[in-house]
Structure 1
Amino acid sequence: MTFISYAQNFEDIRLWRALKYFENGFYIDVGANHPSVDSVTRAFYERGWTGINVEPVEEFYDQLCQARPADVNLQCIAGDANESHSFYAVAGSGLSTADADTAKRYTDSGMPLQTQTVNARTLSSICEEHVRGPIHFLKIDVEGHEESVLRGMDFSKWRPWIILIETPWDRNQTWEKIVTGAAYRSVLFDGLNTFYLAEEHMNLLGAFDLPPGTLDDFQLCYGHSISHPVAEFEQALLQEKQRADLAEARLAAFQQSRSWRTIQRLKAILGRDQG
């Protein structure tokens, strides 16, 4: 079956290449955002996988609950303690953050923020409650809050096979030592995310050697941002509707014209003569 990719930067294709031989797998998605748009886990859910989605924004959390009933959906953030935490929401986007410094940069650039208080839970406490087997991959996309998330995870007890963390700008991450110090190796930077592989699963390393290609037998989902954005289809549809409306208006105007009425009278006269 052709693999339909939803992820922003082919992350799901790379993960599927490494993990497609494992049935009924399990993932943790921290900063899950929308259940489909740019989702790293949607394709896996469609293939019978399940997991945990951590998403504090109510709009996206409600959508996850509706679209992913087999998943565990948690409306909270992941952090280094089970406590209340300030959260800075950017409406309708994946840029919301629990990191105060990142929020300040947003504010300085003129971006509107909504500050709210949300519950924070450590990944270890989430795993303790909901994980009963292997974690095949852990995805973290938290806009500057990565270190706090990682400090809340006991990697000696809970061992995701693969970790991918969005790291688009600064490649000298202070938190990376938490991951590498827990016996994970950095195996790929794809321009947006860094992929880490557990030392005990280095047999999967070959899956990261090459970029996604035709032999991966994949298609981009409808409306994918780098293929055929939905907005383009909607614009084309609007243009066609406008052309159709204009044609109908011109036809209606012609039917009301003197020329049209003259043609109709001639047709009626010819019809009587032929009769």
Structure 2
Amino acid sequence: MTFISYAENFEDVRLWRALKHCENGFYIDVGANDPIQDSVTQSFYDHGWQGINIEPVQDFYDALSQHRPRDINLQCVATDQPGELTFYSIPDTGLSTAAPAVAQARKDLGMDVRTLTVSARTLTSICEEHAADRPIHFLKIDVEGHEETVLRGMDFSRFRPIIILIETPWERDHTWEHLVTDAGYQNVLFDGLNSYFLANEHLSLKPAFDIPPCNLDGFRLCKGHKLAHPLNTDLETALQRAEHAEAQLHALQSSRAWRTVQKLRNLLRRA
């Protein structure tokens, strides 16, 4: 099965290179956003993995619930204290945040920032409920300035993702990295958008991060990917019609009536 990359910056390709040998894979996606567009986890779901998606925005949560029935989809924010908190939603974007300063900066830029109250849970409590008896292969965090609070709510002595992937400012002026490294993780890569941390007990996987994604990974970009060359509209329509016809033919060939006709033809040839 060809690996289709949906992620914005080949994050899924890098993770798959390191973890494709794992059976019954399990992920946690904090700030999951859309289940398909720019998703780090969709390719893994396509390959039979499952996980936990944490997403407070109603539209994205509803889409996750529809497209990811095998996953555990939670409409909340991950933080260091349970309860409720103020969340700043920016509709139809991946820029919503629980960080007031980030929200104000985006409001000053003219963005449509909407304030709402959402449920808050710690990652530890979520893992206790949904991942107590299974390995966590990777934890992805994309929370627009709320990273430190998310990390303070996770007990890394009890729950040990093999890889932690965190969206990181280009300036790398964040203050939270010590929370990860002090917990027994090594920063093995910064790809311009994210920092990748590998658990000390799994440093044998470090060579998987030594080179960027390339043709040896055998992946394809999903349709409509931002990095894919746009197709001619007429050609795209023709391809969609061809795929639809191929699907109809496959369904017909798999039907009981088709198989019966084929058997009759074979009998007539032998007669």
> TM class by shorter-chain length?
0.7 to 0.9
Answer yes or no: is 1:144 the counterpart of 2:145: yes
Deviation of 1:168 after TM superposition, in Å, equals 3.1
Aligned partner of 2:4 in structure 1 is: 4
Code of the aligned partner of 1:108? D
**Take 1:95 and 1:105, find their aligned partners in 2: how far apart are those partners?**
11
SS in 2 for 1:104: helix
Deviation of 1:2 after TM superposition, in Å, equals 1.5
**Take 2:136 and 2:52, find their aligned partners in 1: how far apart are those partners?**
10
**Take 1:190 and 1:139, find their aligned partners in 2: how far apart are those partners?**
14
**Take 1:169 and 1:108, find their aligned partners in 2: how far apart are those partners?**
21
1:169-180 alignment, distance < 5 Å: 169-180=170-181
Deviation of 1:106 after TM superposition, in Å, equals 0.6
1:54-203 alignment, distance < 5 Å: 54-131=54-131, 132-203=133-204
Code of the aligned partner of 2:122? T
Overall identity of the aligned pairs, in % = 63
Q: Which has the larger radius of gyration?
A: 1
Deviation of 1:24 after TM superposition, in Å, equals 1.3
**Take 2:162 and 2:228, find their aligned partners in 1: how far apart are those partners?**
30
Deviation of 1:155 after TM superposition, in Å, equals 0.4
CA contact (8 A) 1:97 1:103 kept: yes
Residue deviations 1:109-155 (CA, integer Å, cap 9, x gap)? 11111100000100000000000211000000000000000000000
- CA-atom RMSD, angstroms? 1.4
Code of the aligned partner of 1:49? W
Code of the aligned partner of 2:130? H
SS in 2 for 1:215: helix
Deviation of 1:108 after TM superposition, in Å, equals 1.2
SS in 2 for 1:37: coil
Code of the aligned partner of 2:58? E
Deviation of 1:65 after TM superposition, in Å, equals 0.4
Code of the aligned partner of 2:169? P
SS in 2 for 1:85: strand
Residue deviations 1:200-244 (CA, integer Å, cap 9, x gap)? 000100100000000000000000011145xx76xx35xx9xxxx
SS in 2 for 1:191: coil
After the TM superposition, which of the residue ranges 114-123 and 163-172 deviates more from structure 2? 163-172
Code of the aligned partner of 1:13? V
CA contact (8 A) 1:222 1:228 kept: no
CA contact (8 A) 1:185 1:199 kept: yes
**Take 2:57 and 2:112, find their aligned partners in 1: how far apart are those partners?**
15
Number of residue equivalences: 235
Deviation of 1:172 after TM superposition, in Å, equals 2.6
**Take 1:228 and 1:66, find their aligned partners in 2: how far apart are those partners?**
29
Code of the aligned partner of 2:53? N
CA contact (8 A) 1:78 1:149 kept: yes
Unaligned runs of 5+ in 1: 241-275
Aligned partner of 2:208 in structure 1 is: 207
SS in 1 for 2:158: coil
Code of the aligned partner of 1:183? G
Code of the aligned partner of 1:17? R
Aligned partner of 1:217 in structure 2 is: 218
**Take 1:218 and 1:104, find their aligned partners in 2: how far apart are those partners?**
39
Runs of 4+ with >3 A deviation = none
